[in-house]
């Protein structure tokens, strides 16, 4: 065992040292490390994926961009959406799919197709912890965040899709099966909507039984913080929030999302202006999700805060909780390491009696998390993002009376439209994160 352990350590060191030598060397050594790991597993026949047929034989990623129709409450617009779509196929033909967004999806697809995916060939798709660990030491050996988290997330989602299909149960059941359906909130109001458009869409959502609503505030505020435009943006936002609250009444939960768009003085002024309108939570108000400043804003104003949709490693959520910066954390399985890591983040939050809630879109992936875990919360039904999903998936579930029921189908329970995916992956493609940024 000591000899095998030393060999493994030597192989890991060689791989990490190669990262500075260019992508070609990284790919070559990742294949070498894969071969080494396969050699070790050959001596462990009870753990051999060959017995079950779930060895990974293909990992592919595609950067997608679509244009879809937004049509709610008489407000009709054409909206762009995009993401990085991942497929993993095993030797027995089982295919799992994953997705990530709010990032340069061309870059994510390149990393998966040129390096990360190749490193997984021959691994057992049912061993999600081993796969996650392999990717972590390949992409984030010193705790780097960013693109690595998106790569790991999209692959991990696909792995769990395969696990669900292998065992014949939904992913939500694998995660614990806490509930059969999840409450949704609708992100209905992008920052560029007029007050009349906001009111029309919000009232349409309420008529459909969705009584949890979220709108965006702070359109360009952080860029205007040194001139008079900041005051104008804040005053306009107060008017927008007031108009929506008046239109939907007091029996609707109303949330606002700053998209990390304010400095502390601007966020505080906005909070004091919208406090009379009973805000359920203010999501990501401050630039860079600054933990210390969020804690200060919460202490000064008493506003309920939520954050974390773009964070990719568990320590970032730990820091938010310990600093008392948030009331809800918002890990998104499309960005925060997939189900494997987010389940651990949720467990950490539960130890502090903090619930999780979804943000950053991806309802079809995140609904399983919130249905599976005891401290799951709202799932975000992001109206602009859903224009993308409705193109990409054929059998998308829809909320009924404000709840999304988990499909009683193995895995994720969604079927990709391969023709639509091929069309959406044709160049020219936008490299950004699509419409899931709220």
pLDDT of 5 reads 44
The pTM score is: 0.86
Other Cβ atoms closer than 10 A to 381: 24
On whether both 35 and 176 belong to a single domain, the answer is: no
pLDDT of 50 reads 62
Supply the CATH number for residue 322's domain. Answer: 3.20.20.120
**What total of structural domains would you count in the chain?**
2
pLDDT, tens digit, 9 for 90 and up, residues 54-102: 999 999 999 999 999 999 999 999 999 999 999 999 999 999 999 999 9
Strands 403-405 and 181-189, how do they pair? antiparallel
CA 114 to centroid of chain Cα atoms: 23
Would you state the torsion angle of the CA atoms of residues 150, 156, 158, 161, taken in this order, to the nearest 10 degrees? Answer: -140
Q: Which of 15, 30, 47 is the C-terminal boundary of a domain? A: 47
pLDDT of 228 reads 64
pLDDT of 229 reads 81
Residue ranges in the chain modelled with pLDDT below 70:
1-51, 224-225, 228, 428-438
Q: Distance between CA atoms of 326 and 307, rounded to whole angstroms?
A: 7
User: Are 212 and 255 a contacting pair, CB within 8 Å?
Assistant: yes
Mean pLDDT of all residues belonging to the chain: 88
Residue 63, in any domain of the structure? no
Residue 56, in any domain of the structure? no
Residue 322, in any domain of the structure? yes
Residue 328, in any domain of the structure? yes
Domain span including residue 12: 1-47
CA atoms within 13 A on the CB side of 418: 2
Strands 95-100 and 75-90, how do they pair? antiparallel
- Among the listed residues 367, 372, 355, the one whose alpha carbon sits nearest the alpha carbon of residue 179: 372
Residue 58, in any domain of the structure? no
Residue 21, in any domain of the structure? yes
Residue 240, in any domain of the structure? yes
Backbone angles phi, psi at 83, to 5 degrees: -170, 175
On whether both 39 and 187 belong to a single domain, the answer is: no
- Among the listed residues 142, 136, 82, 140, the one whose alpha carbon sits nearest the alpha carbon of residue 109: 82
DSSP string, 262-286: B-HHHHHHHHHHHGGG-EEEEES-B
pLDDT of 224 reads 67
pLDDT of 437 reads 46
Residue 100, in any domain of the structure? no
The residue assigned the tokens 């060999």 is 7
pLDDT of 34 reads 44
Q: Distance between CA atoms of 438 and 189, rounded to whole angstroms?
A: 9
């Amino acid at each position: 065992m000591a000899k095998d352990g030393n060999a493994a350590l030597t192989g890991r060191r060689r791989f990490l040292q190669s990262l500075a030598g260019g992508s070609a060397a990284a790919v070559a050594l990742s294949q070498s490390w894969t071969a080494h790991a396969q050699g070790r597993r050959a001596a462990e026949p009870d753990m051999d994926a060959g017995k079950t047929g779930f060895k990974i034989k293909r990992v592919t990623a595609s950067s997608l961009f679509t244009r879809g129709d937004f049509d709610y409450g008489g407000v009709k617009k054409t909206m762009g959406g995009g993401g990085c779509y991942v497929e993993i196929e095993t030797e027995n033909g089982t295919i799992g799919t994953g997705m990530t967004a709010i990032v340069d999806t061309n870059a994510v697809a390149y990393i998966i197709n040129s390096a990360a995916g190749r490193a997984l060939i021959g691994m057992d798709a049912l061993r999600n912890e081993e796969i996650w660990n392999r990717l972590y030491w390949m992409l984030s050996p010193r705790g780097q965040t960013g693109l690595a988290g998106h790569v790991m997330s999209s692959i991990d989602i696909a792995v769990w899709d395969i696990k669900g299909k292998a065992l014949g149960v939904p992913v939500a059941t694998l995660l614990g099966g806490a509930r059969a359906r999840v409450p949704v909130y609708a992100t209905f109001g992008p920052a560029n909507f007029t007050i009349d458009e906001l009111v029309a869409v919000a009232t349409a959502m309420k008529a459909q039984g969705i009584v949890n609503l979220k709108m965006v505030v702070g359109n360009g505020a952080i860029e205007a913080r040194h001139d008079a435009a900041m005051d104008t943006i804040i005053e306009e936002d107060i008017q927008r929030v007031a108009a929506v609250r008046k239109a939907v009444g007091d029996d609707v939960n109303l949330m606002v999302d700053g998209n990390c768009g304010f400095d502390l003085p601007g966020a505080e002024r906005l909070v004091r202006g919208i406090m009379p309108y009973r805000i359920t939570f203010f999501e990501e108000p401050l630039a860079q999700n600054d933990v210390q400043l969020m804690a200060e804003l919460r202490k000064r104003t008493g506003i309920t805060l939520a954050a974390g949709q773009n964070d990719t490693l568990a320590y970032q959520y730990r820091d938010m909780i310990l600093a008392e910066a948030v009331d809800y954390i918002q890990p998104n399985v499309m960005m925060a390491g997939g189900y494997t890591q987010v389940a651990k983040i949720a467990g950490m939050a539960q130890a502090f009696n903090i619930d999780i809630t979804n943000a950053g879109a991806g309802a079809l992936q995140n609904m399983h998390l919130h249905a599976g875990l005891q401290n799951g919360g709202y799932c975000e039904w992001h109206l602009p993002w859903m224009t993308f999903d409705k193109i990409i998936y054929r059998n998308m579930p829809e909320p009924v009376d404000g709840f999304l029921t988990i499909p009683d189908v193995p895995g994720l329970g969604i079927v990709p439209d391969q023709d639509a995916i091929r069309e959406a992956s044709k160049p020219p493609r936008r490299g950004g994160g699509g419409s899931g940024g709220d």
